[in-house]
A and B are shown apart, each in its own frame.
Chain A
Amino acid sequence: MVVNYNVLGLIFASMHDTSVAELTKQRTMGSILFGGRYRLIDFPLSNMVNSGIAEVGVITKSNYGSLLDHLGSGREWDLSRKKGGLHLLPPYSQDGGIYRGRLDALSNVWSFIEHSTAKYVLLSDCDMVTTIDFNPVIEQHIESEADITVVYSKGLYDSEKNHSTNILELDGNRVKDVLVDPQLSGECNISLGMFVMSKEFLKKIVSESISRNQYSLIRDVLQAKKNEYKICGYEHKGYFSKIDSVLNFYNANLELLKTDKRNALFKKDFPVYTKIGDNGPTKYGLESNIKNSLIADGCIIEGTVENSVLFRGVKVGKGAVIKNSVILQSTEIGDECQIMSVITDKNVKISNRKVLTGSDTYPLFIGKNAQI
């Protein structure tokens, strides 16, 4: 891998925050916890870094305290750099208030983008968990002489279950139309929310849109100018999971219990970087009983855990039983509790002998810092 100063990465840390309102009450989409030890922004960031991209801007909107804490100087993603590196771009709008769409946000941070020497820009949202090498995307973009390249994957879509999803209609690799949350179900070309274009072209669409008080990349460019611009699709084959509802968050975490899915997301030569917790190893007690679970470091487990994902620093008391649950960081579960189909947010404390039961189709969500 060679360091690539020719591509600037831009991550929208807050796109679609509202689709998982429970989890974004005190954080952005990018800082939602995922997969035992990660936050969603770790995936686009690691994908960019593993693809050699050396300069990344993170565009925030609101509630970004936890995101700033997580990213710090970007050192853990190897992005604490003199040349390039990580740049946090807090919200700022020309006319006061918070930006409305991607183009508005880009316009507000344009001086940062202008300053970069990169010729191409890669835009990415944070709600897509996947492992992708961006080099072939950029190669295809250059070879096809496209104005915009949209990354998509073939996957099952259901308007009843998915939210803020863009579906591509393709002719070969040309994008003929983009549908936003269409009323249908079946296999579709699902946009992964990743777009490549030249900086020059991006500058043009941003300035044209803003002068017409337009701010949506999807509605005002991809849909409105579909015949004017050459918009191409790049098919990403491999694991992807869209975090667009609490149920999908729950399912996507539990899906990592399948070895083929886990191996497709976590590849040896493509590490997913995250903020280090410096926790001890996980300690299993004399009466622990663990089956089919994904468990991060720093946990102390004395009970039974089945079909569940435990994040860092979770404590499970003696005789407690946890099944089909997603237990976020530093949750403490008391002795002889029974926890079935539950999501606990960070720092939840559940005292001894409590019984909490959700359903696999409607998991019980316990908010951050709750004491039960």
Chain B
Amino acid sequence: MYIKKKCVAMLLAGGQGSRLYALTKNVAKPAVPYGGKYRLIDFPLSNCTNSGIDTVGVLTQYQPLVLNEYIGNGQPWDLDKLHGGVHILPPYESKAGASWYEGTANAIYQNMRFIERYDPEYVIVLGGDHIYKMDYSKMVDYHIENNADCTIAVIDVPKEEASRFGIMICDESNRVTDFVEKPKVPKSTLASMGIYVFSWDKLKKYLIENENDANEKRAKGEPWSKDFGKDIITSMLGDNQRLFAYEFEGYWKDVGTLDSLWEANMDLLSPSVPLDLYDPSWKIYSRNSNMPPQYIGNNANIENSMISEGSSIDGQVDFSIIFSGVTIEEGAKVNYSILMPGAVIKSGAVVEYAIVGEDSVIENGAKVGKSPEQVANRDDWGIAVVGHNVTVSEGKSVEPKEIIDENI
């Protein structure tokens, strides 16, 4: 017997994250390391727990091995529950045949039976690639107060950036009147955060409609899609359903690209960025590496950086995020960079404006990245990226904007 849940969260974690290139070669995007000791999925999972939502389906498809192992039974997030808890939901074979997830709406459609077992009133749909702290229970309350069918979390973005997002146009009561994906001329600055609260009966109806509709189009050879923003939200608006925008204030960052992942890490070092990882009332939980404390050696020189357990630092570290188990030898320099778990920077190596993946080794005298000042033409500058388990040999260099995923 299943105990009824007011609210079930569905976390879309199947995306390839192709714009993170080397970092998602063998790892699903939500398992990409962030912030010194976290992975991206720690944020939505911790938000769920802190919001009192204890039933979470994680929809996986692309390279799920690391993600599955990381989530395990959900214990680090308090999601190992007698009733509910976290469940990994990969695509499966049924009598009608097997099918990969064919879009975000289809992924939920294929798991309607999972949701139905808990007989929820509301379903929260979340992504796995955003950094933010949010109380989803307040958004559900807002959804109920408005007697809404769907509530979409939005954030006010600067006008010049609005054309990068899905933009909501609302009336004075925050009711959504129109939705445009990446408009050339934005009519509003309210960007969708990819966080939705649906009344389950409504979502179910639209998922089934979208599925049938898209399959019919496919049979006829017409273009089709099974996507939340493009199909479900658009259809609901077309039917004059009650869609509301829930305005979020606080830190929110999309980490869909290497640049934004790097920036989101650097944000942690800025005193003006309101993302507090030290608030005991809203902890961000993660799976612990069981390593001893970090050791800072006699030759170390550390400024404005974050460093995690198990690291051993004897070089120079400025404005950087250092994950667990990293080694920085004497004479090595690391500036404005992100070193993922287990990275080794040998003596005399220089790493600047770069991301170095898990367990990668930068040998003596190798160079990764350059500061913008060192590049004559600013258009040639960008962060340098070394993927996971890659060695950069002695004397080799990785130029700005370069991405490597094999030993050089």
Contact = CB atoms under 8 A, between A and B. Distances in A.
A356 interface: no
Interface stretch (A168-176, A182-190, A234-242, A275-283): A275-283
B35 A281 contact: yes
Interface in B342-389: none
B65 interface: no
Nearest to A280: B277
Nearest to A275: B288
A36 B292 contact: yes
A281 B293 contact: no
Given A278-B285, A298-B278, A286 B304 contact: yes
A147 to B, nearest CB: 37
A273 interface: yes
A234 B13 CA distance: 52
Interface string B299-330: 01111111111000000000001100000000
A17 to B, nearest CB: 26
Contact of B37 (A259, A272, A297, A310): A297
Contacts of B295: 257, 259, 262, 293-295
Nearest to A288: B302
Contact of A295 (B278, B294, B301): B294
Contacts, number: 100
DSSP majority for the B interface? loop
Contact of A296 (B285, B293, B321, B322): B293
A266 interface: yes
A271 interface: yes
B36 A280 contact: yes
A310 B301 CA distance: 17
A5 B284 CA distance: 37
B297 interface: yes
Interface string A326-369: 00000000000000000000000000000000000000000000
Interface string B260-298: 000000000000000001100001111010111111111
B302 A35 contact: no
Given A288-B302, A295-B293, A37 B288 contact: no
B265 to A, nearest CB: 11
A292 interface: yes
Contact of B296 (A285, A295, A300): A295
Contacts of B321: 281
Contacts of B18: none
Nearest to A37: B293
Nearest to B283: A278
A35 B292 contact: yes
A273 B290 CA distance: 6
B75 interface: yes
A81 to B, nearest CB: 14
A50 to B, nearest CB: 11
A201 interface: no
A98 to B, nearest CB: 35
Contact of A272 (B35, B290, B298): B290
Contacts of B292: 35-37, 262, 265-266, 272, 294
B306 A279 contact: no
Nearest to A296: B293
B303 A280 contact: no
Interface of B: 35-37, 75-76, 277-278, 283-286, 288, 290-298, 300-309, 321-322
6 contacts: A35-B292, A271-B290, A271-B291, A288-B303, A288-B304, A297-B308
Given A35-B293, A284-B306, 16 more contacts: A37-B293, A262-B295, A266-B292, A271-B290, A284-B303, A284-B307, A285-B303, A286-B303, A287-B303, A288-B304, A289-B301, A290-B302, A291-B300, A293-B296, A294-B295, A295-B307
